[in-house]
Every structure is written in C-alpha cells, then in structure tokens.
Amino acid sequence: MAYNPQNPNGSATSANSSPVVIASDQAAVPVSGTFYQVTQPVSIAASVAVTGTFFQATQPISATSKFSIGSNVVMTVTNLQSLANSATVGWQSVRVSNISTLARDYEINVSLNTAATTPANDKAMYVYICPWYTTDGGTSWNPASQGTTTPVSGTQGATTIASPNNLRLLGVLNYTATSVVASDTFLLSNCFGDRMPDGFSIIIINFSGAALGTSCVVNYKPINDTLV
C-alpha cells in the first residue's frame, strides 16, 4: 500500500503527526541488541518480540578514599652516626624513587641521639629534602643544587651544603638539653604539597653544639589513597 503524498522524514508535533498502526494480524517483529534503562521504564507492545540483554541502573556507585600507609623502610645511616657539629657538613641519604611507588605522600621519621655535650650554636639539627627530577623514567636524575659545586650524589654518605641553596627545609629538631634525643615525624607534603617529586634524598645538618651518637635512625613510609 502506498501513501500519496508520502510521509515526510523527521519529526513533528503531535497535532501535525499521524499515528502508525500495526495490523492486528502482524507477525512478531524481532528486535535484538543491548538495551540500557536509567530512570524511565520501557513499554513495548505485545506484538513485538524483543530479545537481547537489558541493564537497569537504579543506584549510584559510591566509594570512600582512605589513606593507605605502606611498610616502614629503615634507611642506611652509616655516615650519620657520630656526625660532628657543623653548619655545613652533614649527611645525605640514598635517593628514594617515587616512579613506581607513585605515593601521594611520605612519612619521614628522624631520631638523633647525641653525645653528652651541652647545647650550643643553633641548638638544633636541620632536616632538608633534595628533590630529584628524572628525564627518562628513572635512569638519569637531576638533583636540586645544595649551593656548592658538588651536587647531591643519590647515595648514602657525607655531603656539604652552603647558604643559600635550593634544598627544601623539611623540619628542625631542637636540642634543648644535654643528651636529649631529638626526634620527630614529618610529611614530605610539607615541602611539595600534594604533588610529589620523581624522587628525593634526605639531608641532615647537625648544628646543635654536640656530636651525634651512634643510635641515629631515619625511617620512611609511603602513603597512598585507597578506595573502600
């Protein structure tokens, strides 16, 4: 059966549209595919056979982000033990890479015991961070300058800084009385906010007036976000 004039393509208002009627003896029309329903129910005439997979989403998916604290890492501190009092000569840690760990932050714990010497000079130990930048995913590294012609090496050992320098001051440990153990815990985000560098080294300067003892400890833990 043909219509003349033919129905135009496209859409129109209800007042300007004609209904489409399916014959009472029309065979079932198969409809196949994948169908999704979000908020409104789907109504299908009885004469239309529908096959396929249907999904109905009725509840939003929610998750909570919590801190996930990694395992404690005890750093090698051979050259930190018995470190002499000095405003410039100090200790540097091995470089810690964040390329594969991808931590959002780090907890850094420093505990420094001393010889039985009266506080003098600044009566304090200074904890610095040297940020590292890698150009190729962890093979080549560029450190922040420490104000001298000798850059931070990335290996545990002695180091010498100058003032001014481009290191980041992480925190100060006060040495207020003879034989006090100077200890504190810091967050690396105190230096860098919520964006960590590719890697970092810890530098400690002891200008407390007393030489350090032989039980000094430096630890760190990576912190990530976990969805629960």
Indicate the pairing of strand 157-160 with strand 199-207.
unpaired
Please give the average per-residue pLDDT across 4-28, as a whole number. Answer: 65
- Assign domain 67-227 to its CATH architecture: Sandwich (2.60)
**Helical segments of the chain, H only:** 189-192
- The enclosing H or E element of 219 equals strand 217-227
The vertex-69 CA angle with 63 and 74, nearest 5°, equals: 165
pLDDT at position 72, please? 98
Report which listed range, 6-10, 27-31, 62-66, 89-93, is most confident.
89-93
pLDDT confidence bin for 227, thresholds 50/70/90: confident
Higher pLDDT, 55 or 100: 100
Residue 192: phi, psi to the nearest 5? -125, 5
Residue 9: phi, psi to the nearest 5? -80, 160
Q: Whole-angstrom Cα distance, residue 158 to residue 165?
A: 17
Q: What is the dihedral of CA 97, 101, 105, 106, to 10 degrees?
A: -60
Entry pTM:
0.72
pLDDT at position 66, please? 80
| Structure token pair of residue 125 | 């130990």
pLDDT at position 20, please? 61
Q: How far from the centroid of its chain's Cα atoms is residue 64's Cα?
A: 16
Higher pLDDT, 2 or 167: 167
Please give the average per-residue pLDDT across 46-52, as a whole number. Answer: 59
C-alpha dist (Å) from residue 71 to 99, 101, 224, 225: 17, 12, 11, 14
Q: What is the DSSP letter of 15?
A: G
Q: What is the three-class DSSP state of 14?
A: helix
pLDDT at position 38, please? 53
Question: Domain coordinates of the chain in residue numbers?
Answer: 67-227
- What's the pLDDT tens digit per position in 110-162? 999 999 999 999 999 999 999 999 999 999 999 999 999 999 999 999 999 99
pLDDT at position 163, please? 95
Q: What is the three-class DSSP state of 191?
A: helix
pLDDT at position 64, please? 77
- What's the pLDDT tens digit per position in 73-116? 999 999 999 999 999 999 999 999 999 999 999 999 999 999 99
